[in-house]
Amino acid sequence: MKDTGEYDAERDADAALLARYAAGDAAAARLLSARLSPRAFAHAFRVLGDRAEAEDVTQEAMLRLWKQAPKWDAGRAQASTWIYRVVANLCLDRLRRTRPDTLDEMDAPADPAPRIETRLQDAARHDALQSALLRLPERQRQAVVLRHLEGLANPQIAEILDVGVEAVESLTARGKRALTADLAAQRDALGYSDDTT
């Protein structure tokens, strides 16, 4: 997790790059893209589970950043938080379009997808976690990914998901419980039963 000083330094660095871009400096765009787009893509991919869709979301989020640059308020938010927030909302929009039946399931238990055993048997161990993440309700998934895979602090996640810090703690706790139960149930299918390490 990042401390406050590191958070402020990163925010100032991103704001300075955005100001340079707004002044017409193309090199600043390359630096900003190198700093932000890999994280945006990683989050989108983990939440959507689809590379092509994650790439579209990342490009769209970065495009919105370029358009926002001339109006950027340096003291308002960290650019990475802003990007994560845009990515989170774009992912939610896509999930709602493709899977409307899983809407607003913040309190719903994990919903095992069909053909799960077939998928997991063929998947690598990382894919097992990814698959389990995709079976979480969207908000839990976003919170778990941001907290435990992207390494963000709860207040920053609260800002990204537009909820309170307590809600973030609740989402991540329930998400972790569901993931643990899901992955534990899949140990045999994944071939972990014989491992002794």
Residues that bind another protein (CB under 8 A): 21-24, 26, 29-30, 32-33, 37-38, 41-42, 45-46, 51, 54-55, 58-59, 62-63, 66-67, 69-70, 125-126, 128-130, 148-149, 151, 176, 179-181, 183-185, 187, 192-193, 195-197
Nearer to another protein, 62 or 134 (CB): 62
Cβ of residue 12: shortest distance to another protein, in angstroms?
21
* Among 61, 53, 70, CA closest to 15: 70
Residues with Cβ within 8 Å of 139's Cβ and at least 6 positions away in sequence, in order, are: 105, 106, 161, 171
Cβ of residue 62: shortest distance to another protein, in angstroms?
5
Residues with Cβ within 8 Å of 65's Cβ and at least 6 positions away in sequence, in order, are: 18, 32, 36, 79, 82, 83, 86
Nearer to another protein, 29 or 153 (CB): 29
Nearer to another protein, 104 or 125 (CB): 125
Cβ of residue 100: shortest distance to another protein, in angstroms?
26
Cβ of residue 130: shortest distance to another protein, in angstroms?
8
Nearer to another protein, 63 or 103 (CB): 63
Nearer to another protein, 30 or 104 (CB): 30
Nearer to another protein, 71 or 100 (CB): 71
Give the Cα-Cα-Cα angle 176, 182, 185 (nearest 5 degrees): 135
DSSP code at position 151: -
Alpha helices by DSSP H, 69-124: 79-98, 116-122
Cβ of residue 55: shortest distance to another protein, in angstroms?
5
Widest distance between CA atoms in the chain: 60
Give the Cα-Cα-Cα angle 68, 97, 83 (nearest 5 degrees): 25
In this structure, the chain runs to a length of 197
Cβ of residue 104: shortest distance to another protein, in angstroms?
25
